[in-house]
Chain A
Amino acid sequence: MVTVQLFSSLSALADGQREIKVEAKTVGDVLVALARAYPGMAEKLDGGVSVAVDGRVIASGLTEPVNELSEVVILERLKGG
C-alpha cells in the first residue's frame, strides 16, 4: 500500500482525511485509486494535479513508479510564467 498525502480541497472530498493508503505501482494508479475510492475527487483530479514522489514533482507523468516506501504528495497542478 502506498500512503498518499492530500492537500485540503482534495481532503475535503475524502471525508477530511489528509492521508490515504491505496494500492498502486505508478502515479497513474494512485490517481485512479483515489478517484475510485472517492468519486467526488474525480473532477478535481481530471482537471489536473501534480504528484510529488520522494521530493520530485511529477507534473503530468502517469507512469512514474511508486512503492510502499515512497513519499507521495498530491499538489495543485503546476504551471508557471
Chain B
Amino acid sequence: MAFDEKKSTFDVIGSRPLRPDGLDKVTGRAKFGADAYAPGMLHAAVVRSPHAHARIVKIDTSKAEAMKGVKAVVTRADFATGLKGENWNILENVMAGEKALYDGHAVAAVAATSALAAKDAMKAIEVTYEVLPHVTDVDEAMKEGAPVIREGAVSPGTPEGMHPNVVGYHESGHGDVDKGFAEADLVIEDTFKTEATHQGYIEPHACLAQMGNDGKGEVWCCTQGHFNVAKVCAHLLGTDASQIRVTASEIGGGFGGKTAVFIEPVALALSKKSNRPVKLVMSRSEVFRATGPTSSTSMDVKIGMKKDGTITAASGVFRLQGGAFPGSPAEFTAMCSFAPYNLENVKQIGWDVMTNRPKQAAYRAPGSPMAAFAVESVIDTLCNELGLDPLEVRLKNCSKTGTRANFGITWDQIGLEETLLQAQAHPHYSAPLGPNQGRGISCGFWFNHGGETAVSLALSEDGTVSVSVGTPDIGGSRASMGMMAAEELGIPYEKVRTTIADTATLGYNEISHGSRVTYASGLATIEAARDTIRKLCKRAAAKWGIDEDAVIWEDGCAKPSGPNAGEFEPMTLQQIARKMGATGGPIVGHYEATPEGAGVSFATHIVDAEVDQETGSTSITRYTVVQDAGKAIHPSYVEGQFQGGAAQGIGWALNEEYIYGEDGRLQNAGFLDYRIPVASDLPMIDCVIVEVPNPGHPYGVRGVGETSICPPLAAIANAVSNAVGIRMKQLPMSPPRILAALDAEGK
C-alpha cells in the first residue's frame, strides 16, 4: 500500500485490547499529581480572598514568615511584570494584583516544612481588603450601573456603548431572517438559562515544583498540557520555557478543566524563594472556588417552521459570563447553535461578559451544550405544537455534506444524517413509555481540532517498540497510539508501549484538548511508524544489496517488491532490529506537524426520563448515544467517551450548579452540596458508533471526546418537558425547580 492511500482494512484497529494503564490504576500503582515526592520537599498553602470583589489594600506576611517551619511566602510581587494579553490574564488569575476578583481568588501563598505548618502560616498572613460591589449574574453584569470588573478589557470589534463588562462579540449567519420568519407557519421565541457547572474531575490539581538558583526548573503535575505549563510558567516567572522541564502525571480526569494553569507557577515561585522543592495540592473546595467551571448562560432563541417541518429561519442571542476575565466561549456557543441544520436564513450573536466569578475554563466542547439546550428545546416545542415527529423534522432539516453551515463554511464529509437514521432505526426510539415518562431527542455538534504535534517511535533490539507522545492520556490514547503503531508496523499490539514524554524530550505538543489526541497524535504516530518502516526497508535493502525503493513492508516484514527486485527471504522487524547497532545504529521514526484535517463530529441522543411529580425528582430510565466517530480505533474507549459525555450531561441537566449567596461567595464548594451523578443515578447507556470517515486522517478518525456532551442537556430537557407537559427553560432541572414549574402551572 502506498503511504498516501487511505487504509480501510485493519488487523488491530477496531479490536478491543486491554487498557495499558488499567492494572496500575486498580492496584494504586499509578502515580497521580499528588503522588510526587522529592527529598527536602516543602508543602504549600494558598491564601484566598473571602470576598467576591475587593481592593487589596495591604498584605502583611511578617507574622507568617516568622513562624517555625515557614521557608517562603509569595505574593504578586514575586512574579513577572509587564505581561500583556492572555499572559497577564493568567497571572492575574494565578495571583491577584490590585484587586481580588472573585471568592477564592489567590492573594498569597506560603511554603513550610509540613502541610499543617503551611496552613497555620496561611492563617497568619493578614490581608486588608476594601470590599467592592460585586456581580455574578450574566444578565445583571451587562446592565447599566453594574459593578465594573475591570476597565480596558474589551476585545477589538466589540460594539461601542456597551457596559465595560461586555468584552467580546460574535455575529455570523446568512440570508434574511426577517423574511424567513415571515414565511413560517409558526414562530416560537424563548429565553433559556443555564448555570455554571464544574468539570468535576475526581483528582484535584496537584504539582511538585523545583527551581534552583541557576534558573532551571522541574515540574511534575497533573495537566492536560505539560508543554503549555512550561510555556506559561516561563512567562509568569520571567524565564525561558526550555529551562522548565515539565512531566505530566497520570490524570484523574480533566474534561477541559486541566487545560488551564493555576498552581504550578505558584509552587515554582515558592521553590525559587526557598531553594527547596515545593508540593502544592488543592483541596476540593479550592478546586470549586478557584479553578474554571464552565460559563453560565442566558440565551434567546427564535425559530420559524412551516407545517411540514421545514425550518424557514433561526436566530439566537447567547450571553455567556466567563468569570472575571475575557474568554468565555460565546463565539463557539453561537457557531455551534444551529450547526446541525441546513438553514437559508440564520443569524447568531454571542456576547462575552465578565462577572465576579472564577475564570471559566474549557469543559468538553466549550459552549456547545448550552446552545443545543436552547435551540433543540425550541425545535421540540415547534414539533409538539405542529404535531410533527421530532426525529423526522431533524432529518428533514439536517446538515449534510455540501451544506453551507450557519457560520459560513461548506461542510466537508459529515455524518449527522447517518446518526439520525441510526437513531430512528434503534429500538429505543419506538419503545413504549410508562407513566410520568417522557422521551427527548437532540442533535449536537463540535468542531474538533488538530494542533501542533510531535511523536517519536523507537525500536528496541528485541523488536519491541516505544512510542513517545506529548499529549497527556485523558481518554485512552496510549492504547490507541499503540494500536495504530502496531497496525502500521504489522506487529502485535502487546509489542508496543506508549509513554507520555516530558517537555525536554519531544517537540512542542499542544494541549490534549479539542478532541484532538486520537486524531492528531494518532496521525503523527502513523507517520512516525511509516518513517520507521522506510528506515527498516533501507536496512533490508542494504543487506540484500538492492535499491531501497525495491523493498516493501508487508505483514511486519521487509520484502522484495517483486521478482525483478531479486529473491530474498523476508526480514522481520525483530530480525532487522536485532542487528541495527551494527547496520547503521538505532532506528527511530518521528513526525512533527500541525495536522489541519480534524473532521467535525455530530451526534444524536435519545433519552427517556421519568419525573416523580410529588418530589420533582427525575430518573433517566433509558439513554442511547449515536455518534459519528469517523473510525473507531478502540471501540470500547469510544463507547466510554460516548457514555462519559452522556453521564456528565445528565449531571449538568438535572443537578449540578454553582450557587452564589448574596455576598457573592460560592455556597456549595464540595461534592456534598454540588451533586454530580453517581453510578446508581445512571441507566446503562447504549452506544451506536457511526463511522463516516474523516478525509483528513489516514484511517478516517474523528475526535469523539467532546461531541458526546453536546446533545444531553437538550435531549434530557426535552424528555423532562414532555414528561411533565411544561417546557423547562432553566438548568439544572433540579427537584425544587421542577416543583416550582409544576406549581406555576397548577399541576
* Chain A residues within CB distance 8 Å of chain B: 5, 7-13, 40-41, 43-44, 47, 52, 54-61, 64, 71, 73, 75-76, 78-81
Task: Indicate the member of B407, B409, B448 with the most A CB atoms within 10 Å.
Answer: B409
Cβ of B706 within 8 Å of any chain A Cβ, yes or no, is yes
Q: A55-B410, A56-B412, A59-B596 are in contact. Are A81 and B449 (CB under 8 A)?
A: no
Please determine whether A56 and B597 come into contact, CB atoms closer than 8 angstroms. yes
Please determine whether B594 and A60 come into contact, CB atoms closer than 8 angstroms. yes
Cβ of B331 within 8 Å of any chain A Cβ, yes or no, is yes
What distance in Å separates the Cβ of A1 from its nearest Cβ neighbour in chain B?
A: 18
Please name all residues of chain A whose beta carbon is closer than 8 Å to the beta carbon of B86 when the two chains form the complex.
47
The answer, among A7, A55, A56, A81, for a CB contact under 8 Å with B366, is A81
User: Residue of A at shortest CB range from B599?
Assistant: A56
The answer, among B349, B409, B515, B594, for a CB contact under 8 Å with A52, is B409
Please name all residues of chain A whose beta carbon is closer than 8 Å to the beta carbon of B85 when the two chains form the complex.
47
Please determine whether B255 and A81 come into contact, CB atoms closer than 8 angstroms. yes
Please determine whether B159 and A12 come into contact, CB atoms closer than 8 angstroms. yes
Inter-chain CA distance A42–B141, complex, in Å, is 29
**In residues 668-712 of chain B, which contact A (Cβ within 8 Å)?**
696, 706
User: Residue of B at shortest CB range from A64?
Assistant: B596
User: Residue of B at shortest CB range from A8?
Assistant: B171
Please name all residues of chain A whose beta carbon is closer than 8 Å to the beta carbon of B514 when the two chains form the complex.
78-81
Please determine whether A13 and B411 come into contact, CB atoms closer than 8 angstroms. no
Q: Mark B514-531, 1 if CB is under 8 A from A, else 0.
A: 111000000000000000
Q: A8-B169, A54-B410 are in contact. Are A80 and B362 (CB under 8 A)?
A: yes
User: Residue of B at shortest CB range from A40?
Assistant: B156
What distance in Å separates the Cβ of A39 from its nearest Cβ neighbour in chain B?
A: 11
Please determine whether A9 and B407 come into contact, CB atoms closer than 8 angstroms. no
Inter-chain CA distance A31–B516, complex, in Å, is 24
Q: A5-B408, A60-B594 are in contact. Are A76 and B335 (CB under 8 A)?
A: yes
User: Residue of B at shortest CB range from A13?
Assistant: B157
Q: A52-B408, A52-B409, A55-B409 are in contact. Are A7 and B172 (CB under 8 A)?
A: yes
Q: What would be 9 A-B contacts, judged by CB atoms less than 8 Å apart?
A: A7-B407, A8-B170, A9-B155, A12-B157, A13-B156, A52-B409, A59-B451, A80-B364, A80-B447
User: Residue of A at shortest CB range from B169?
Assistant: A9
Please determine whether A9 and B157 come into contact, CB atoms closer than 8 angstroms. yes
Please name all residues of chain B whose beta carbon is closer than 8 Å to the beta carbon of A40 when the two chains form the complex.
156
Please determine whether A60 and B452 come into contact, CB atoms closer than 8 angstroms. yes
Please determine whether B447 and A57 come into contact, CB atoms closer than 8 angstroms. yes
Identify whether the interface residues of B are mostly helix, strand, loop, or mixed: loop
Please determine whether A55 and B411 come into contact, CB atoms closer than 8 angstroms. yes
Inter-chain CA distance A73–B409, complex, in Å, is 6
Please name all residues of chain B whose beta carbon is closer than 8 Å to the beta carbon of A80 when the two chains form the complex.
256, 362, 364-366, 446-449, 513-516, 706
Q: A44-B156, A80-B366, A80-B706 are in contact. Are A55 and B412 (CB under 8 A)?
A: yes
* Chain B residues within CB distance 8 Å of chain A: 85-86, 155-159, 168-172, 199, 255-257, 259, 331-332, 335, 349, 361-366, 407-412, 446-452, 513-516, 594, 596-598, 600, 696, 706
Question: Other than the known A13-B157, A47-B86, A58-B596, what 19 A-B pairs have Cβ atoms closer than 8 Å?
Answer: A8-B169, A9-B170, A10-B157, A43-B156, A52-B409, A57-B596, A59-B449, A59-B598, A60-B452, A61-B596, A75-B407, A75-B409, A76-B332, A76-B335, A78-B447, A79-B362, A80-B515, A80-B516, A81-B362
Inter-chain CA distance A55–B405, complex, in Å, is 9
The answer, among B168, B407, B446, B449, for a CB contact under 8 Å with A73, is B407
Inter-chain CA distance A9–B596, complex, in Å, is 24
What distance in Å separates the Cβ of B640 from its nearest Cβ neighbour in chain A?
A: 16
Inter-chain CA distance A7–B330, complex, in Å, is 13
What distance in Å separates the Cβ of A77 from its nearest Cβ neighbour in chain B?
A: 9
Please name all residues of chain B whose beta carbon is closer than 8 Å to the beta carbon of A75 when the two chains form the complex.
335, 407-409
Please name all residues of chain A whose beta carbon is closer than 8 Å to the beta carbon of B199 when the two chains form the complex.
81
Inter-chain CA distance A9–B167, complex, in Å, is 11
User: Residue of B at shortest CB range from A46?
Assistant: B85
Inter-chain CA distance A76–B329, complex, in Å, is 10
What distance in Å separates the Cβ of B229 from its nearest Cβ neighbour in chain A?
A: 16
Inter-chain CA distance A60–B514, complex, in Å, is 14
Going nearest first, the 9 A-B pairs with the smallest beta carbon separation are: A81-B256, A9-B157, A80-B514, A8-B171, A81-B362, A55-B412, A76-B331, A73-B408, A52-B409
Please determine whether A79 and B407 come into contact, CB atoms closer than 8 angstroms. no
Please determine whether B158 and A81 come into contact, CB atoms closer than 8 angstroms. no
What distance in Å separates the Cβ of A45 from its nearest Cβ neighbour in chain B?
A: 10
What distance in Å separates the Cβ of A55 from its nearest Cβ neighbour in chain B?
A: 4
Please determine whether B171 and A81 come into contact, CB atoms closer than 8 angstroms. no
What distance in Å separates the Cβ of B376 from its nearest Cβ neighbour in chain A?
A: 20
Inter-chain CA distance A10–B451, complex, in Å, is 23
Task: Indicate the member of B159, B516, B596 with the most A CB atoms within 10 Å.
Answer: B596
What distance in Å separates the Cβ of B449 from its nearest Cβ neighbour in chain A?
A: 5
Please name all residues of chain A whose beta carbon is closer than 8 Å to the beta carbon of B407 when the two chains form the complex.
7, 73, 75
Inter-chain CA distance A59–B597, complex, in Å, is 9
Please name all residues of chain A whose beta carbon is closer than 8 Å to the beta carbon of B363 when the two chains form the complex.
81
Please determine whether B447 and A9 come into contact, CB atoms closer than 8 angstroms. no
Inter-chain CA distance A52–B598, complex, in Å, is 11
Please name all residues of chain A whose beta carbon is closer than 8 Å to the beta carbon of B594 when the two chains form the complex.
59-61
Please determine whether B409 and A57 come into contact, CB atoms closer than 8 angstroms. yes
Please determine whether A56 and B696 come into contact, CB atoms closer than 8 angstroms. yes
Inter-chain CA distance A43–B168, complex, in Å, is 14
Please determine whether A44 and B155 come into contact, CB atoms closer than 8 angstroms. yes
Please determine whether A57 and B172 come into contact, CB atoms closer than 8 angstroms. no
Please name all residues of chain B whose beta carbon is closer than 8 Å to the beta carbon of A61 when the two chains form the complex.
594, 596
Please name all residues of chain A whose beta carbon is closer than 8 Å to the beta carbon of B412 when the two chains form the complex.
54-56
What distance in Å separates the Cβ of B44 from its nearest Cβ neighbour in chain A?
A: 27
Please determine whether A9 and B409 come into contact, CB atoms closer than 8 angstroms. no
User: Residue of B at shortest CB range from A42?
Assistant: B156
Inter-chain CA distance A17–B170, complex, in Å, is 15
The answer, among A7, A47, A81, for a CB contact under 8 Å with B170, is A7
Please name all residues of chain B whose beta carbon is closer than 8 Å to the beta carbon of A47 when the two chains form the complex.
85-86
Please name all residues of chain A whose beta carbon is closer than 8 Å to the beta carbon of B168 when the two chains form the complex.
9
Inter-chain CA distance A54–B411, complex, in Å, is 8
Please name all residues of chain A whose beta carbon is closer than 8 Å to the beta carbon of B596 when the two chains form the complex.
56-61, 64
What distance in Å separates the Cβ of A63 from its nearest Cβ neighbour in chain B?
A: 9
Inter-chain CA distance A52–B513, complex, in Å, is 19
Please determine whether A9 and B450 come into contact, CB atoms closer than 8 angstroms. no
Please name all residues of chain B whose beta carbon is closer than 8 Å to the beta carbon of A59 when the two chains form the complex.
449-451, 594, 596, 598
Please name all residues of chain B whose beta carbon is closer than 8 Å to the beta carbon of A57 when the two chains form the complex.
409, 447, 596, 598, 600
Task: Indicate the member of B172, B332, B514 with the most A CB atoms within 10 Å.
Answer: B172
Please determine whether B157 and A44 come into contact, CB atoms closer than 8 angstroms. yes
Please determine whether A81 and B172 come into contact, CB atoms closer than 8 angstroms. no
The answer, among B172, B409, B515, for a CB contact under 8 Å with A71, is B409
Please determine whether A81 and B364 come into contact, CB atoms closer than 8 angstroms. yes
User: Residue of B at shortest CB range from A62?
Assistant: B594
Please name all residues of chain B whose beta carbon is closer than 8 Å to the beta carbon of A10 when the two chains form the complex.
157
Inter-chain CA distance A64–B364, complex, in Å, is 28
